[in-house]
A and B are shown apart, each in its own frame.
Chain A
């Protein structure tokens, strides 16, 4: 029964006393802040295995909590609530409820791979962040993140033609996330981009948009890959179901 670090400092658990006498000893001024004890019983012992069934989460069991990932993390430097080491810790302990508290920021990992580069145990924390984000979505704890929408749109185009065309991906992304395409900064960006462009280049860009580039020899590849991935995903889902049932 571990006492979990963050719950120690949740504000409603902190008891402060003007003066305090414990067992006849006056501890006022020294030990007058107490933290209500808390026992956590809602472990999911199989949670680690569930996360391992997602692509990227396979090595999460190796972590020895050195903290190098968080220490080097790009997003942690902007927001100290973004803490890969801590989430890996919660995963290993099976403290899902604690993890869900941070559900809205986990997807923000920018995939810079600093953590994966530095991790002495080959945990590949970058992959674990993706696995956690996918789990949160699968279990309905979060909406599909914009980054996930972008990934799916990107893959849908590659599956079909073998390639992507920037403008299509961007347009479909904005459509699917219900954002206006005419954001002032994007308009300013596009205006600056085309300001100096020769006419022939604009035509080329236009043609590229209308006749989306495709890989001629793509043939059956997209379908073969889709079938493979679907098979893998079904197998992973079944694995998760078995883990849940066994528990």
Chain B
């Protein structure tokens, strides 16, 4: 079993609180082990690279170095697509550019930070679950079922793009695909859900401009919601706090400002898997979601 550091990043500490709670509860219920990454910093999200690309590389390298140099761990696990993307991008930049590596190491020495040496890898929570358990392992641990609810699995941009920074994807059978990702589909199908054919799996939610260009984001989110409904989905499963909040915020905005109402529920995939493991909605932070799915889950007999 890989020795894994848990990196929640800023989003899971803040608006992505339900993702943090459901991740922790799920990991525990599945009998996996992770330790909190010590005193981490922000990964730079989508913003810091625009101030200067090296800032984002440095911030991510610093977090990776804490795991390997200070904690002796093999991998950093990030459930947030933004964190995951940034850590992977830093890994890629530093493995392919001696100059970048030298800059990061010099800056770390100046700042008295742990020095990144490259001997640590980044995992998304989805990848970690697939690596340790896979659909079969999940099946063995189920106490309940998702009772055939219809799910559109939404992966967003940063889990798959740009594909160059994910060398382990697109490696044939068993590996994750950057064009047709399927890890979330696999895990939720094992838990008794029915995955609909969702063409916008990796489409963008406009998260980078949630507030700065709300019209664009609302349009993109409406595409996602309406396409999910057209595909017959009752729920959109998310794996990123930015996508999740974006979907929820702009679903509300579309309703309030434009009178366009969509019925599809938005839940973190960890909340769905957690329900199949028999964990309570409260433990999984389902009442903290803006998209109110409690009645729906009751109707489907998933919660009492």
> Residues on A close to B: CB < 8 A?
55-56, 74-75, 78, 108, 110-114, 116-117, 122, 124, 126-127, 130, 145-152, 154-155, 158, 162-167, 170, 173-174, 177, 184-186, 188-189, 192-193, 195-198, 201, 208, 213, 215-221, 224-225, 228-229, 232-233
Contact = CB atoms under 8 A, between A and B. Distances in A.
B52 A55 contact: yes
Given A117-B161, A224-B110, A148 B292 contact: no
Contacts of A162: 41-42
B288 A110 contact: no
Interface string B15-56: 101000000000000000000000111101111111111110
B155 to A, nearest CB: 12
A140 to B, nearest CB: 19
Q: Is the interface of B mostly helix, strand, loop or mixed?
A: helix
Contacts of B203: 74, 112
Interface in B33-88: 39-42, 44-55, 58-59, 62
B95 to A, nearest CB: 15
A117 B164 contact: yes
B52 A233 contact: yes
A192 B42 contact: no
A111 B46 contact: yes
Contacts of B14: 164-167, 208
Interface stretch (B128-136, B186-194, B251-259, B272-280): B251-259
A148 B163 CA distance: 26
Given A110-B216, A192-B252, A221-B62, A151 B47 contact: yes
A151 B41 contact: no
A164 B42 contact: yes
Nearest to A222: B111
Interface of B: 10-11, 13-15, 17, 39-42, 44-55, 58-59, 62, 103, 107, 110-113, 157-158, 160-164, 178, 203-204, 206-209, 211-213, 216-217, 219-220, 248-249, 252-253, 255-257, 287-288, 290, 292
Contacts of B110: 220, 224
Contact of A224 (B10, B13, B111): B111
Nearest to B14: A166
A74 B220 contact: yes
A157 B103 CA distance: 23
A155 B49 CA distance: 9
B292 A55 contact: no
A114 B13 contact: no
Given A117-B161, A221-B62, A148 B50 contact: yes
A188 B212 CA distance: 19
Contacts of B217: 110
Given A113-B161, A166-B15, A221-B111, A189 B53 contact: no
Given A117-B163, A146-B211, A186-B249, 20 more contacts: A78-B216, A110-B206, A112-B204, A114-B161, A116-B161, A117-B178, A147-B212, A151-B47, A152-B51, A158-B59, A162-B41, A163-B41, A164-B14, A177-B212, A185-B256, A188-B252, A189-B290, A208-B14, A213-B10, A225-B111
Contacts of B249: 185-186, 189
A177 B44 CA distance: 21
Given A56-B53, A74-B203, A208-B14, A155 B48 contact: yes
A213 to B, nearest CB: 6
A150 B10 contact: no
A170 B210 CA distance: 11
A55 B208 contact: no
A197 B162 contact: no
B248 A166 contact: no
Given A74-B203, A189-B248, A164 B10 contact: yes
Contacts of B162: 113, 116-117, 124, 126
A56 B55 CA distance: 13
Contact of A184 (B13, B54, B157, B256): B256
Contact of B50 (A114, A151, A177, A188): A151
Nearest to A155: B51
Given A117-B178, A221-B62, A154 B288 contact: no
